[in-house]
Amino acid sequence: MDAREQEFLEYVQGGGQVETDDWMPDEYRARLIKFIEMHGNSELMGVLPEREWILRAPTLQRKLALTAKVQDEVGHSQLIYRVVEDLGKPREQCLDDLISGKSKFHNVFHYPTKTWGDVGLIAWLVDAAAIISQKALLKCSYAPYARIMKKICWEESFHILHGRDVILTMMLGTDQQRELVQEALDRWWGPLMQFHGNPIARDEDPMYVWRIKSQGNEEARQQFLDGYVPQIWELGLTVPDPTLRKRDDGAWEYTEPDWDELKHVVTGHGPKTAERLELRRTTREENAWVRRAVLAEAA
């Protein structure tokens, strides 16, 4: 690392923020692009499990809420890809790499949504896990990303409430509805525990070293457990991990998440990966005429 890079590193570690036109080390730029692009991909792919349920949602109100949520998430991906573009990677290339499987998206969006219970659980707990990561990005050393995260977090807060409302409604319903929620929790607990990544020490995590992230993976997972396990328990649900407990020092103990599964899934081998990427590819082709029309009209 040369003197200029060292100075930059000290600047961001001291809480300094960087703008688009500022000089930055190549490694910092490359890591930003990879990380932010994956976030954009995840927003875009994250709408697919919910999209499948718009027509099957139980009431008109739920259909509208789900549609609004899908619109929000696609909007987030647009904002995020815009930030990636300013860093030097065009949106078209991001979409090419997503569809070809070259770039990644979050593990939780590679799984099927079997029942309406899954939809509620995703909206509540997957969004809760995501907002913990996203809130930590409000302090990202790359300022344009931190700024759009403000808007994104604001919208995610309503998504969590929507999810919790779906779950509460089901828990107040019939035994069969309560079973659907418990089954969904059983299915999603593993992926949820993998979501924040392996417990690499934050000072060894380059994303923390460059202050792209402001907390370590394990800190995020502990925050998730601390915030949401009590909320799960108070509804009479069972977390499918018999070793889960809060120690006297405040830290949560849990069964080691299946890191092999995480790796397998995010490298493109999840149960729904191929099908959802194929849908992305065909819709992109089908919608190409819209992009052409917009550009032609403007020209």
Partner 1 sequence: MIYEVFRQERKGQAFAHAGSVEAPNEEFAEAYAREQYGRRGESTALWVVPRQAVHEIDDFADELQKNYHRVDGYPLKEKLGRARELAAKSPGGLSAGAG
Of the residues 16, 75, 112, 268, which one makes contact with partner 1 according to CB under 8 A:
75
Cβ–Cβ < 8 Å for 41, 33: no
CB closer to partner 1, 79 vs 279: 79
CB closer to partner 1, 151 vs 269: 151
Binding of residue 295 to partner 1 (CB under 8 A)? yes
CB closer to partner 1, 114 vs 292: 292
**Exposure letters 19-44 (e unless 16+ CB within 10 A, then b):** eeeeebbeebbebbbbbbbbbbbbbb
Q: Tell me how far, at minimum, the Cβ of 61 lies from partner 1, in Å.
A: 17
The 76-115 contact track toward partner 1, x by CB under 8 A, reads --xx--xx-xx----x------------------------
Q: Tell me how far, at minimum, the Cβ of 298 lies from partner 1, in Å.
A: 3
Per residue, what are the HEC states of 199-232? CCCHHHCHHHHCCCCCCCHHHHHHHHHHHHHHHH
Look at residues 142, 125, 111, 140 and name the one whose alpha carbon lies nearest to residue 46.
111
The 134-173 contact track toward partner 1, x by CB under 8 A, reads ----------x--xx--x--xx------------------
Distances (CA, A) of 38 to 22, 65, 104, 259, 266: 23, 25, 6, 19, 11
Q: In sequence order, what are the beta bridge partners of 246?
A: 252
Binding of residue 299 to partner 1 (CB under 8 A)? yes
The DSSP output letter for 21 is T
Per CB under 8 A, contacts with partner 1 among 15-54 are: 21
**Span of 32-40, 72-80, 168-176, 218-226 interacting with partner 1 by CB under 8 A:** 72-80
Q: Tell me how far, at minimum, the Cβ of 79 lies from partner 1, in Å.
A: 6
CB closer to partner 1, 53 vs 81: 81
Cβ–Cβ < 8 Å for 181, 171: yes
CB closer to partner 1, 10 vs 86: 86
Binding of residue 289 to partner 1 (CB under 8 A)? no
Please give the size of the binding site for partner 1, defined by CB under 8 A. 20
Q: Tell me how far, at minimum, the Cβ of 182 lies from partner 1, in Å.
A: 34
Q: Tell me how far, at minimum, the Cβ of 213 lies from partner 1, in Å.
A: 20
Q: Tell me how far, at minimum, the Cβ of 76 lies from partner 1, in Å.
A: 9
Q: At 34, phi and psi to the nearest 5?
A: -60, -45
At a CB cut-off of 8 Å and minimum separation 6, what does 143 contact?
Answer: 17, 18, 19
- Our CA angle for 179, 184, 186, nearest 5°, is 95
Q: How far apart are CA 246 and CA 207, in angstroms?
A: 28
H helix count then E strand count, the chain: 13, 2
Q: Residues interacting with partner 1, by CB under 8 A?
A: 21, 75, 78-79, 82-83, 85-86, 91, 144, 147-148, 151, 154-155, 294-295, 297-299
